[in-house]
Each structure stands twice: as C-alpha cells, then as structure tokens.
Structure 1
C-alpha cells in the first residue's frame, strides 16, 4: 500500500505550497504597505523571543502589503471607526496614515509611473494654454508629513531617503519647461515666523493657503495679484478642531492648534454670481462641487484644478483678484477638459496635494 494514496498526493502538494507562501512573499512583488517600524530584531533575541523577536516578525512577514490592505478593506466593510487612521508624532502631532502619504513623504514609496503621468499631463496642459495665449502653473501643496517633518516619530524621521516623488516631479517639471512652484522651501522659510500647516489636520492653515495662492500668482507672472498677509489674515487664535481629531475621536490637545481667521479678500463671497454652462452637473452628495464666478470687476480669468487644499480657501482670494474665477477637482488627472475650454482661463493652475499627485485611470485629454 503506497504511503500516500494518489488522491492524497495533491492535498500534500497544496499543503506544502501553502506552507511556503510566507517565504515566497518575502521576495515576491507586493502591494505598498505602511512603513516597518522595526527594521531588525533586538540583540540576543533568542533569550526572550516573544518580546524581542515578535515585533520584528510582525513587520517583515511575507505579502505584508496584501495582508494589511485586505485587513483595512475588511474593517471598513464592517464599519470600524479606523482609530489607527492617524499616526501620532512628537508633541501630540497627528499625521494621516492613509493614501501612503507617510511613505511618499519619506521617499520610501517612489512610483516612476506616477511621476511620468503627472508630467505628461502638465505638458499637454501647458501646450494648450500657450496655444491660447494663457499661462499654466503647477503647484503642489506638500503633505503634512513633508511640511511638519520635525514632528514625525523619531523612527520615521530616520527612514527619510531621497529622492522623493516630490523631488522627481519638481525636477522633471522644470526639465520639461513647465512653470512649477515647489512649496517646500516657501513653507519652510515661513515656518520661522509661525505655523503654516495644522498639527491635528491634514491641511495647511490660512498662512499656508495664502502663501500658496501668492506663489501661484507670482509664478504666473502676475505678482500684482498677490494679497498681503495683513490684509487677509487676522491675529492668531486657538483652533479646537481638525479632521484627524474628528477621525480618531481624540480630545482637543493642549496646546490646541493655531488658526489665522481670514478677513478682507480671503473671505469667500456670500452670494456670488455663478457662471452657468461651464461644468457638467455632478451628484449633490459630491463633496467637490465645481464653481465658476463672475466677480464683476477687472482682472484675469483664473481657473484652479485642485482639491480640498484650494477648494474653499482660495475662493475669496481668487474672486478678489480675477474678473472670473473657477475651481474644479482634479479627479486624479481625470478632470473634465471641456470645462477648461468653455471657461477660457488666462491663468490655469493645476494644484493637487502631494499625496494626490498620481493619476488614476485615463488622464484628461
């Protein structure tokens, strides 16, 4: 009688294959995963393996990216509150753990195809604007992880390498002749005199918003459209909220965040005169409703293709400086090009935040 009957041999093969999967996963291609917080086992790990070795194993098992992605999908499916959505940094600072923003800012995740796709889109948009006598500007608001790098956990700061995706985009945009605004040095310089990005929120604060708008106007060759901080920002005051605080259910920290109440040209108009026929209708529950406003005064026609970093915060600024101002979401490069053609901007600004740079699907043509 054979040791293994024929029908059992296949089960043996399958069982053996399953046992080898973790080993294969150590070298096989994997999905992107959160940073490994333990890069090596502690010294003399064999003396207390449960304490000294387990953290390392939990960081390096095979197919780690696929397993963690599946787990995240599962907890979202069952309605978990995602209490680990935020990474806690120095002095209580919070950072987004989603969208691979941390890995991207540290240079641990660099996607050449993402860099190529956004540069190719920018080249097409630049050619279009040149052909129509306008100016095209690309401006990338950095992740909070990039702007407030010093507040990241110590282990994360040690993992910083170059080049990052932002580095490569900046380099290739300039090589392609695209007017590109690198906000990192601008924000770094401004931080010497006050915060530019909230500590408990994924967005830049009002100072950062104003710096970004002014940098875009200067890059477009219209420094006369820049708005002075004293005209747009009130004195600093505590901010007791933040999207990361809401997402995690964490209490308001002490000290709280700092905000600069908008005033004058930074305040959005209450009853703007909307320009019909520019955008195709979007669902009422879409959080990124496009708009085009006739301001009723002189100035260039300005259009921004951006996201939550510019949606509301630049509305008042744009309306104060333009004869017509429009905004729509970039849809990860899949925005409606027809809206640009109908609006006919003199200045077109493409401004996805750093973590939203990669194109998804087919870019706008």
Structure 2
C-alpha cells in the first residue's frame, strides 16, 4: 500500500510549497516595503530568542512588501491610521505615505521621475523667459527632512546621500533653471523657533512666511516681502493636526506651536474672482484653483503648488499682487495652458518634496499645453 494515496500526494505537494513560500520570498521580487526598524539580531539571541530574535524575523520575512501593503490596504479599509503615521521622538508624528520617510533618508531614488520633474520646471522657465517674466522653483521639504532629529533612532541611522531633493536641485542648477533650496533656510530658522508642525505634515505660519520672503528675494522682488512683525502675532499652542486625525488620536502626546497671523498674511478684502482663466475642477476637489484680482497695484503672481502654499500663502499673495493665481501641480499633470492664460509676471513652481517626482497616475498622462 503506498505511503500516500494519489489524491493526497497533490495536497502534500501543495502544503510543502506553501511552507517554502517564506524562504522563496527572501530571494524573489517583492513590492516596496517600509524601512526595517531592526537591521540585525541582538547579540547572543539564542539565549532568549523570543525577545532577541523575533524582532529581526519580523523585519526580514519573505514577501514582506506584499504582506505589509495588504495590511496597509486593510487598515485604510477599516479606518485605522496606524499604517499611515509614524511615531517619532518626543511625541512627534510623521506621514508614512508616498515613501516620504524613505525619500528624506535617501532610501528611495527615482532618477527618471526626478528628471521628468526637472523637464517640467525647465519648460515653465522657458515660457516665462519668452514673456519677460521671472520664474523660480522651490520645494517645501518634508517634515521628515526638517524635523529629522525627531525621527525614531533606527530611521536616523539609515540616512545617506544623495536624496531625491539633492538630485532635483542639482539637475535644475545644471540646466540653469532658477531654484531655491529651502533646507538651509529652515535649518537655520529652527534655532530661533519652530518652523514646522510636530503633529501635522505642514510647516507652520512662521515657516511659510520665511519661505515666501526667501522666494521674493530669489525672484528679485525684495519689496514684496512681509516683515514677521507685521505678519505674525503671538505663538499659540495647538493640539490638532492632520496626523493626529490620521492616527485616530483624540489628543497628541505633546502639543504643537503655531502663530497667529495678521496684516499681509491674513485674509484680504476686496478680492474679485477671475473666471475663464484657469481650467475648472470639481467643487469637491480639495485643491480648487484660486484666481483673483486684488484691486491694488502689484505684479501678477502665480503659484503651482500644493497644501503648503494653498492656504498659508493666500493672504500674502493677495496683499502683494494686482492679481494672483494658485493651482495644484497635480504631480506634473497641471495644465500648462493655465499659465499662458493667466500671464503671470512672477511664477513659482512649488511642489512639496514628496510631490516632486513625476510618477505614473491613474488620472491619465501629463498635460501638455491646452491638450
């Protein structure tokens, strides 16, 4: 009588194959995965394997990327914020999406996507040169970049160069495209007070103002800067932030510091909407374009940015221009015809660090001109 009946042999082969999957996964192609928080087993792990070896195994199992991606999708489905937020030192929170952490640490490099972003910036520069205007590229750094010291220790140990920010700035300088590296500015400004949120993905009002003033200097219009004493009020304690909501917390471990705004940074009266200039989007879109005449003299200013400039710069743009436009960069998929129709004197291309790469999108191909 055979050891295994014929129909059971197939089941045996199937079971053995399943048991081999974790080993095969160590060598087979896998999906991108979050950074490993444990790089090697602890010394003398065999004396207490449950405590000293298990953390390492949990970081190196086969098909780790696929398993964690599935876990993240499940977490989003049930509304859990655990897979979206990284807890750092001293109560700081960081966004885990868009590979922002890996990007800031130099753990992910997408040179083709960065070169494509530089192509977009170069095209905008040539458009502005043709009309006698001024152009600038500036990228608000990730909070992981600015508040690097608040990342978990294992993440800080993985930092190396170059980063995608380095590649982008270097490429633009090589092409002769005007670019402002905001990282040194933010690092210096931190010595006098916070410039980025601790429990939110964005900079605070002070960081936003310093970046705006630096952009005006770089554009050759220092007369458009707003003095901090005129634009910022008292510091205020805040315990709300987008990362707090994503993490499902009712209250952060440590509150945040922001600033009241006033004068040129506050909402400005007398704005008149300009219609028929910017391609419309759905009113449910979180990034509805802003196009206004202000009723006072000044240059026409346009910003192609994201949430770092959408609200933080609204008052500054209105108080410093005769007309201003703000549109989202759409990961390089904005409509170049919007620029041609608005005819700005000053144009700023300002994707956040994690929004720099021109990555494939289910929304369709990149926009080119009015097509």
What TM-score range do you get, normalising by the shorter chain? over 0.9
Give yes or no for the alignment of 1:38 onto 2:41.
no
RMSD: 2.1
Task: Report the Cα offset of residue 47 of structure 1.
Answer: 2.5
Give yes or no for the alignment of 1:132 onto 2:131.
yes
Which deviations, in whole Å up to 9, do the C-alpha atoms of 1:252-292 show, x marking residues without a partner? 44652111111000012255211110122211211111011
Partner of residue 208, structure 1:
207
Which deviations, in whole Å up to 9, do the C-alpha atoms of 1:291-345 show, x marking residues without a partner? 1110112211111011100001111101111111000111111011221111011
Shift of the 273–38 alpha-carbon distance from structure 1 to 2, 3 Å rule, reads: same
Shift of the 3–135 alpha-carbon distance from structure 1 to 2, 3 Å rule, reads: farther
Task: Report the Cα offset of residue 167 of structure 1.
Answer: 1.2
Instruction: Please give the TM-score of this superposition, normalised by the length of structure 2.
Output: 0.92
Question: C-alpha separation between the residues in 2 aligned to 1:83 and 1:38?
Answer: 19
Partner of residue 162, structure 1:
161
CA contact (8 A) 1:198 1:258 kept: yes
Partner of residue 198, structure 2:
199
Question: C-alpha separation between the residues in 2 aligned to 1:320 and 1:271?
Answer: 11
How many equivalent residue pairs? Answer: 364
Question: C-alpha separation between the residues in 1 aligned to 2:15 and 2:339?
Answer: 58
Shift of the 120–24 alpha-carbon distance from structure 1 to 2, 3 Å rule, reads: farther
Partner of residue 364, structure 1:
367
Partner of residue 238, structure 2:
239
Question: C-alpha separation between the residues in 1 aligned to 2:131 and 2:4?
Answer: 77
Task: Report the Cα offset of residue 363 of structure 1.
Answer: 2.9
Partner of residue 259, structure 1:
258
Partner of residue 151, structure 1:
150
Give yes or no for the alignment of 1:335 onto 2:334.
yes
Task: Report the Cα offset of residue 108 of structure 1.
Answer: 1.3
CA contact (8 A) 2:140 2:351 kept: yes
Question: C-alpha separation between the residues in 1 aligned to 2:22 and 2:246?
Answer: 33
Partner of residue 102, structure 1:
101
Partner of residue 55, structure 1:
55
Provide the secondary structure at the position in 1 that maps to 2:309. Answer: coil
CA contact (8 A) 1:268 1:312 kept: no
CA contact (8 A) 2:72 2:83 kept: no
Task: Report the Cα offset of residue 250 of structure 1.
Answer: 2.6
Partner of residue 311, structure 1:
310
Which deviations, in whole Å up to 9, do the C-alpha atoms of 1:208-237 show, x marking residues without a partner? 101111121122221221111111101212
Question: Which residues of structure 2 form unaligned runs of 5+?
Answer: none
Instruction: Please give the TM-score of this superposition, normalised by the length of structure 1.
Output: 0.93
Partner of residue 70, structure 2:
70
Question: C-alpha separation between the residues in 2 aligned to 1:13 and 1:118?
Answer: 50
Partner of residue 352, structure 1:
351
Which stretch of the first structure deviates more once superposed, 51-60 or 243-252?
Answer: 243-252
Give yes or no for the alignment of 1:117 onto 2:116.
yes
Task: Report the Cα offset of residue 240 of structure 1.
Answer: 2.7
Give yes or no for the alignment of 1:288 onto 2:291.
no
Question: C-alpha separation between the residues in 1 aligned to 2:28 and 2:217?
Answer: 47
Question: C-alpha separation between the residues in 2 aligned to 1:122 and 1:289?
Answer: 22
Question: Which residues of structure 1 form unaligned runs of 5+?
Answer: none
Question: C-alpha separation between the residues in 2 aligned to 1:363 and 1:12?
Answer: 51
CA contact (8 A) 2:117 2:356 kept: yes
